[in-house]
Amino acid sequence: MEWIKPGININFVGLRYKAFLLSGIIILLGMAVLAARGGLNMGVDFAGGTVIQVQFTKPTNPDEIRNAVRELVSQCTIQQIGAADANEYLIRADLISSELQSISQQAQDELSKTYGEGQVTVRRVEMVGPKVGEDLRQKALKAIYYALLFIGIYISGRFEFKWAISGVMGGVMLVGIYLLEAIGLNAIYLIIGALIITLLLCWFLKLPYALGALLSLVHDILITLGIFALTNKEFTLEVFAALLTLAGYSLNDTIIVYDRIRENRHKDRKQPFHEMINGAINQTLSRTMLTSGTVLFVLLCLFFLGGTVIHDFTFAMLIGVITGTYSSIFVASPILILYEDLTKGKRVLKKATA
């Protein structure tokens, strides 16, 4: 089955600067919203506290719910979930108790006073302590960084046959993180700094394929986080799992393109590098569209028919599939051209000054 006929030659690399600009605008917009809101809308998994999911038989609004539970919790955040006619809400509060059943019954009683018996159902109650939430946040950041680091090591060995160099780089970064963590450095600054150093090492150690793959994955994650900030959706453990999943999906697509680039480079080294990369993207375009199209179809079915439990997970995956496909074509591959142009310019400058 072929959607794209052989011999097609779309000038993808010619659009690389426009693609970089578009990606930059989206990422900066997302980060600006993230900063303005003071961070992501963390779910109870990361923020700690108690979440109560309730469903009403009749339409209501957050203010009425807040007034109804004011005897139970003094301050709470209320968010509608699911379809508008489902009348389902999440009540988030800094309420810690050892008895979840007790909280469930208290919430049921308080809401029934306002809405009447049988008019409201407490569907679930979840509670996470603040220390557990903090620990989960730190582990989530480390998990994303370690995933990116080991992906960089794999790409370096797979495409550049530099297992030893990439292995040493990975070992140094792991030891460095352990030492900086031991002195009490904030986890967020620690991981951001480690990621920047890893990217710089990929540049100076001449690992362009690893650099391109890592930057495209960072691009996908930042855009997904930015869209979650724009939509103010909860960032939960399920969404974090989706981030790791989309990183693997995006990497798989990037590897297909990189494989074709390497094959074409062995066949004809006289062909201009940007033409060879553009040809590789076009040659794998049919496979990319078929894979992404089928995955996207399944995710759309899950998003609209799967219910509220997996709604945010599916939403993150939808963003990831779209950005992952986009980044494989317009970010990961063009970065190889950018690296080649910059290093070639340095070599020419050295010869001229010699």
Domain limits of the chain? 13-42+132-353, 49-128
Task: Report the distance separating Cα 230 and Cα 139, nearest Å.
Answer: 24
Checking if the pLDDT of 213 tops 80, the result is: yes
Checking if the pLDDT of 185 tops 50, the result is: yes
Q: Is the pTM of this model over 0.75?
A: yes
Task: Report the distance separating Cα 58 and Cα 215, nearest Å.
Answer: 48
| Among 48-57, 176-185, 267-276, 281-290, the least confident range | 176-185
Q: Who has greater pLDDT, 254 or 71?
A: 254
Instruction: Say what the pLDDT of residue 86 is.
Output: 81
Architecture of domain 13-42+132-353: Up-down Bundle (1.20)
Q: pLDDT grade, residue 42 (50/70/90)?
A: confident
Checking if the pLDDT of 124 tops 50, the result is: yes
Give burial (CB, 10 Å; 0-12/13-18/19+) of 95.
Answer: buried
Q: pLDDT grade, residue 100 (50/70/90)?
A: low
Please state which CATH number belongs to domain 49-128.
3.30.70.3400
Do the domains 49-128 and 13-42+132-353 match in fold? no
Instruction: Say what the pLDDT of residue 346 is.
Output: 55
Give burial (CB, 10 Å; 0-12/13-18/19+) of 290.
Answer: middle
Q: pLDDT grade, residue 27 (50/70/90)?
A: very high
